[in-house]
Chain A
Amino acid sequence: MYEALQVHKRPRVAIFELASCAGCQLQILNLEDELVDVLGLVEFVYFKEAMSNSSDEYDLALIEGSVTRESDAEKCRTVRERATLVGTLGSCAYPVGIPGLKNHGDVEAAAGIVYGEKADLFASHPVLPVDAVIDVDFRVLGCPIDKKDFLETLTALLLGRKPPSPTYPVCVECRIAENSCAFDRGETCLGPFTRAGCGALCPSYGGRCYGCRGPADDPNVLSMQALLEEHGLTPEQIAADFALYNGYERGA
């Protein structure tokens, strides 16, 4: 599947934006040292944060953001049909990210808060990750995405290789970084649950992990919950902690 781009000399790339802050697109533009090389490898045909023209013909599609209304889902389906490979950018698209917070309150009330009296004009449904609507071939994770991750994904696809994505949790990278453990400081952290690949970025700057990259391949959820409870969180607090980024229930 990942060899699909091999037939193209310089594959055409389109980047689509759903409910998100567009920060992941900006991360691509932040690739100041590499952008020229990237342009030699691919041709951007749609990239709203960077250029004004657009095209319906593309080989590789990247979707940023979550699905919050039917037109988003429709957009995803069209993209899936037109593109050879479809990937997602950032936490809003997977696991569901900040937009997913809406799912934990009253969805209609949320529309009222955002759109005020005109709320009726905007059809809005519970927030979904992109892969709940269409098949996704790969994901670039993080809030926002990591620049190096993006480049590695791109080069892997251009060589016909599966994009690298760690299967293990953030703790692996956090220990290597010799960070002090949030649990040792009397705080809590979602590092043991969350997929690595960020280089334990937040803990490396004195923070903790909020789970923006979604679950690792086989997190021990029961033991994780027990650990958080042991560190003073109530079941409601634990649920809220997971809901910040992981507010979409899979396999439900």
Chain B
Amino acid sequence: MVDRVMTKSALAESLEQLAATLHVAAPVEEGGRVMFRRVRYAAELANHYLPTMLPPTKYARPPHEELLRFSWAEGPRVEPVFEAEEIVIFGVRPCDMHAFDLLDQIFSEENSDGHYQARREALTLIGMECLEPCDEHSFCRSMGSLEATGGFDLLLSEMGDGYYVRVGTAKGRALIGTFQDAREAVYEDRKRLRKTCLRRESQFEHRLEDTYDELPRVLADSEDSLLWDVLGEKCLSCGACTNVCPTCFCFDVHDDVNLDLKSGRRRRHWDSCQLEEFAMVGTGESFRQPRNLRVKHRFNHKGRYLMERYGVPGCVGCGRCARDCLVGISPIEVFNQLKGQPVER
């Protein structure tokens, strides 16, 4: 698939054309926060980039999602619900593309979760490379997610007043075919892109003392670290960290009943291992009640368990959890402290 080059104004125009008929979502700034919203005009797009409050994975895995509709008016009838809206997401950053990859693995490859697959299939991802770090909380380079290695349909890299566009899938090729003034990339463009990428490397520092593949060992060695107790005392168990996390995927399932009392729907809702009820069983016993153990579980899930299970890091280094933590619990600090000063009980 041949790469393309577009000017920024040509891209803006193509996006607006697309948005005239389709749901185009892009980062929009509102009151100092950036979030993915439906846009109609290029002027709505956020000028500077901070990772969005909720990751774009929210379109594949919405906070509340209908799974089944049922009725028992005349014997039980139950049918699955597969609903999806066609959405073109513009400006997906590499960290979030890595998150999509992980979710795809869990919901599409390990499981055939049709509810996820339907939504995911209806998404078109237009990625945007990061040329400079967003803020002090991100550590994508340490997590191996600075570079977009896949998962995108189109991938844009900013070069001067234009974009270098890489095509990732047939869907992306079809889309770029509808964009006007997207010329084929030539040798000079590729040379420029390489330079841009080289420059980028020096912009991003490794903020973790370890690379992600060492984290499982560091965490395994830190089971008895006092740090967990320190964090447990601070943690508000407010669930912010898991809700804003692009790789968190836990959920709970509830039935809603209509007022006829004979029909209803089963829905799943985002849930969080940081909440007390999460590990409770039917008899009321909780298997992970103390706050320090809940915090420990989260960091182990991100840095160790997913790695052991799926071979990819469970954290993409976007820094959202740290940015939104009211008491300043930051994965950079946690991982580095565990590595630096193993506190023994």
Contact = CB atoms under 8 A, between A and B. Distances in A.
Chain A directly contacts chain B within the complex, with at least one CB pair under 8 Å: yes
Interface of A: 34, 37-38, 40-41, 151-152, 155-156, 158-159, 164, 167-169, 171-172, 175-176, 178, 180-181, 183-185, 191-192, 217-220, 222-224, 226-227
B322 to A, nearest CB: 13
B33 A168 contact: no
Q: By DSSP majority rule, is chain B's interface helix, strand, loop, or mixed?
A: loop
A223 to B, nearest CB: 5
A169 B236 contact: yes
B128 interface: no
A176 B35 CA distance: 11
Contact of A169 (B239, B259, B261): B239
Contacts of A34: 259
Given A175-B243, A191-B238, A223-B236, 6 more contacts: A37-B259, A167-B275, A172-B238, A172-B243, A175-B240, A175-B324
Contact of A220 (B35, B235, B239, B243): B235
A215 to B, nearest CB: 12
Chain B CB within 10 A, most for which of A191, A192, A224: A192
A164 B256 CA distance: 10
Contacts of A151: 259
B44 to A, nearest CB: 16
Interface in B58-94: 63
B257 A178 contact: no
A158 B261 contact: yes
Contact of A223 (B254, B275, B327): B327
Given A168-B277, A172-B243, A178-B54, A192 B32 contact: no
Nearest to B232: A220
Nearest to A217: B276
Given A167-B277, A172-B272, A223-B327, A192 B238 contact: yes
Contact of A178 (B33, B326, B327): B33
B31 A192 contact: no
* Chain B interface residue number, banded: 20 to 34
Nearest to A155: B257
Nearest to A174: B240
Chain A CB within 10 A, most for which of B233, B236, B275, B277: B236
A227 B88 CA distance: 40
16 contacts: A37-B260, A151-B259, A159-B257, A167-B275, A168-B272, A168-B276, A169-B236, A171-B238, A172-B275, A175-B324, A176-B54, A178-B53, A180-B33, A185-B31, A191-B238, A220-B235
Contacts of A152: 256
Contact of A218 (B237, B261, B272): B237
Contacts of A219: 236-237
A169 to B, nearest CB: 5
Chain A CB within 10 A, most for which of B243, B244, B254, B260: B243
Contacts of B54: 175-176, 178
A220 B259 contact: no
Contact of A167 (B244, B261, B276, B326): B276
A199 B258 CA distance: 20
Interface string B255-283: 01111110000000010100111000000
B237 A169 contact: yes
Nearest to A196: B239
B236 A155 contact: no
A171 B33 CA distance: 16
B296 interface: no
Contacts of B33: 178, 180, 184
A151 B258 CA distance: 9
A231 to B, nearest CB: 9
Contacts of B31: 180, 185
A109 B276 CA distance: 42
A176 B259 contact: no
Nearest to B277: A167
